[in-house]
Amino acid sequence: MKNHKLILGLLISFSFLILTSLNAQKNAKEVEVETASGKKIKTKELDKFIESQMKSNNVPGLSFALINKGKMVYNQSYGIQNTETGAAVDDETIFEAASVSKSVFAYFTLKMVEKGFLDLDTPLYKYLPEEIVENDDRYKLITTRMALSHTTGLPNWRFFNEDGRLDIKFTPGTKFSYSGEGYEYLAKALASIFKTDYAGLEEIIREEVYEPLTMTNSGFMLKEEVLKSKKANGYEDGKFSDGIPEDLAKPYFGASFKFHTNAIDFSNFMINLIKEEGMKPETFDEMFSEQVVLPEDEPLRVEDGFESWSLGFIRAKTPYGLKLVHGGMNPSFQCYFMIIKEKKFGFVFFGNSNTAIEMVPAIEQYLLSGKD
């Protein structure tokens, strides 16, 4: 029996190496792409670099896309979506977008602001007349702008509190504190505005975002049969994981963490941001502009070098221009995207592992400068 398990383990490892190699040969024609610095790199060299990062960070599967001059010039599927069956990641494999969901929901919200359904600075309780925090009327100060820029005063998640109840940590609008709860409050308010439930809200997002941007394998509330047939398995420390905890998955729409997509679909979203299509220039300016400067001791500044937050995006300067980014870290899926609008450049990856985010520094450096 032990020998059988050993052989099975070796076969899975061997399958990963073979499938990664075969996937990388999908775009067999050797082409050159550009880094943000303008350095040309061959796609085979890029594949080799990403595969090495996956191996060293124990990431079974990856969906990747690169944008040059406002176009997706390269996309690739790497590795395995299911380590038990050995099924390879392909162009239609779906991943959890985790907190990258926030950027998509922010874009949708700004479209609704532009259309006059809500105002950035009108308190959300006026759209959703219910008490969301007991014995603390400061929730009536919370606006759409605060929700999108993480200045609501709400915790990241209420279940982090000992009593499991939602509360307010500081006066809304006075400082930065990352909050998924803020996005969920905004989603609930939007559903109220449209006099619909979350399924109805999803259909509006489909009409306003997925369909115009050709995001055919994406959604906050994808049908169960789609997820069963196309979604990659998620892994924590190399072991299969069901992903989002049940206590988090059920009560929330998931505007802050539940979007599903892949690199091809998401690159269409990124290209739209670069080209600024679908909204007025002033709306894009508002969405991308600095809303709150991160404190000097904020871990996102100290550890990652991020400087400020816009409406749905993180901002930081690079030698090649301002980068707009967001990462995502669900229990067994992690991802990251970046655009530099001045260069019409960007990249995105989605991985099915709790260690995928650890690849970001190396991949970003390589794709910005061409140096590993």
User: Tell me, what's the pLDDT at 29?
Assistant: 65
pLDDT at residue 15 tops 90? no
For residue 302, is it within any domain? Answer: yes
In angstroms, the CA 146 to CA 327 distance is 20
- Looking at residue 346, its pLDDT comes to 98
- Together in a domain, 346 and 267: yes
pLDDT category at 14 given cuts 50, 70, 90 is very low
Residues 127 and 238 in one domain: no
- 293 lies in the same domain as 235: yes
Check whether residue 182 and residue 224 sit in a common domain.
no
Is 278 in the same domain as 340? Answer: yes
Same domain, yes or no: 155 and 219? no
The DSSP element (H or E) to which 205 belongs, if any, is helix 198-205
- The 3-state DSSP class for residue 198 equals helix
Q: Which residue has the higher pLDDT, 21 or 232?
A: 232
Residue 17 predicted with pLDDT over 70 = no
pLDDT per position as a tens digit, 251-295? 689 999 999 999 999 999 999 999 999 999 999 999 999 999 999
Instruction: Categorize the per-residue pLDDT at 6 as very low, low, confident or very high, splitting at 50, 70 and 90.
Output: very low
| Number of domains the chain is built from | 2
Residue 53: inside a domain: yes
**Local confidence band at 247 (pLDDT 50, 70, 90 cut-offs):** low
Between these two residues, 24 and 201, which has the higher pLDDT value? 201
pLDDT > 70: what percent of the chain?
90
63 and 174 in a single domain? The answer is no
Does one domain contain both 226 and 95? yes
Residues 136 and 26 in one domain: no
At residue 30 the predicted structure's pLDDT band, cuts being 50, 70 and 90, is confident
- The residue behind tokens 């990388």 is 24
CA-CA distance, 306 to 71, in Å (whole number)? 26
In a domain? residue 204: no
Instruction: Look at residue 133 and tell me if it is in a domain.
Output: yes
Average pLDDT for residues 149-169, to the nearest whole number? 95
Residue 134 in domain: yes
Tell me what the pLDDT averaged over the chain comes to.
Answer: 92
Per-residue pLDDT, averaged over 133-158, amounts to 97
Boundary (domain end) residue, out of 193, 226, 248: 193
Does 147 share its domain with 232? Answer: no
Angle among Cα 186, 192, 196 to the nearest 5 degrees reads: 120
Distances in Å between the Cα of 35 and the Cα atoms of 47, 68, 297, 323, 331 are: 14, 8, 31, 14, 31
Task: Verify that 165 and 33 share a domain, yes or no.
Answer: no
Residue 131 lies in a domain: yes
DSSP assignment of 228-276 equals: HHHBPPEEETTEEE--S-HHHHTT---TTT--EE-HHHHHHHHHHHHHT
Q: Flag whether 112 is in a domain.
A: no
CATH code, 58: 3.40.710.10
User: How far apart, in whole angstroms, are the C-alpha atoms of residue 180 and residue 168?
Assistant: 13
111 located within any domain: no
Q: Please determine, for residue 97, whether its predicted confidence score (pLDDT) is greater than 50.
A: yes
**335: domain range?**
2-100+214-369
- Shared-domain flag, residues 31 and 82: yes
